[in-house]
A = this chain, B = another copy of it.
């Protein structure tokens, strides 16, 4: 069992009220892959420039993440420089250089054939479309997106949405995409376009899942050690699909509602680790006990006893 992720690999420079990190490993595919690697075998499809440090490839390899699908292209790696507000729930882009991501044509290596789960991480929906036409995973396709694609590439984005089983996006994006301010209504509109499950990430407030089995909602881990929220959403998706991948592996069958709800909790778990440090620092040193304990803490915080 494996999860293949298509998305960005970036070099980020980030300022938050709690510090600064310069030229660190980032990108939607990166956070996703690191989070998912604790649950399942992960393969990345992405692009970097010739400036991408070997050390960053090593981070992936330390987590047994396959990187044959990361094209090393002439030019520089996508870079993002941003500064967060005090609540760390919104960032101002200070500088962005798309670089090699501009003309990214995803290349699926022969070694990736026969994927079980495909995740279209946040990236230009034109790229996402190329991929859904090339890869037909055995179990499911999930996707993420962001405000700029909703505003500038709506038609392509809607076509991608029609191809996926699960869409994962945040509350502001769900509202922007549908024009519905009330989240369960927004979820119903998106579901009417095709996806069987709609998962809405609510940052510090946790996550919400809508499907034909009803609604599920779980608060985020109550976080006192908040350093940098970059990649929290991608890590959520990694924990979520990683956990689903593991449950398919364990039961040799498609996931049921309980597996999906557990997966949402593991999404929260992985996001809660990511925000405790810059870049993927926290995601590099976890073990299964850390993950299981955090899951238990989230459930205890919501338990009536």
Task: List chain A positions with a Cβ less than 8 A from chain B.
Answer: 17, 85-88, 175, 181-185, 202, 204-206, 208, 214-219, 222-224, 226, 257-258, 261-262, 265, 299, 301-305
Given contacts A184-B223, A184-B224, contact A301 B217 (CB under 8 A): yes
* Chain B min CB distance to A190 (Å): 14
A182 touches B223 (CB 8 A): yes
Measured in the bound complex, the distance between the Cα atoms of B226 and A215 in whole Å is 16
Q: How many subunits of this chain does the assembly comprise? A: 2
B305 touches A258 (CB 8 A): yes
Measured in the bound complex, the distance between the Cα atoms of B305 and A216 in whole Å is 10
B304 touches A265 (CB 8 A): yes
Name the contact of A204 in the complex, choosing from B183, B204, B262 (C-beta under 8 A): B183
A219 touches B218 (CB 8 A): yes
A-B contact pairs, 17 of them (CB 8 A): A85-B181, A87-B175, A87-B181, A87-B182, A182-B223, A182-B224, A183-B222, A205-B205, A215-B222, A216-B301, A216-B302, A217-B219, A258-B304, A261-B304, A262-B304, A299-B304, A302-B302
B222 touches A208 (CB 8 A): yes
A86 touches B301 (CB 8 A): no
Measured in the bound complex, the distance between the Cα atoms of B183 and A258 in whole Å is 30
Q: Which residues of B contact A219 (CB under 8 A)?
A: 205-206, 208, 217-219
Measured in the bound complex, the distance between the Cα atoms of B265 and A86 in whole Å is 29
Most buried by B among A86, A183, A302: A302
Closest to A204 in B: B183
Closest to A299 in B: B304
Measured in the bound complex, the distance between the Cα atoms of B297 and A184 in whole Å is 15
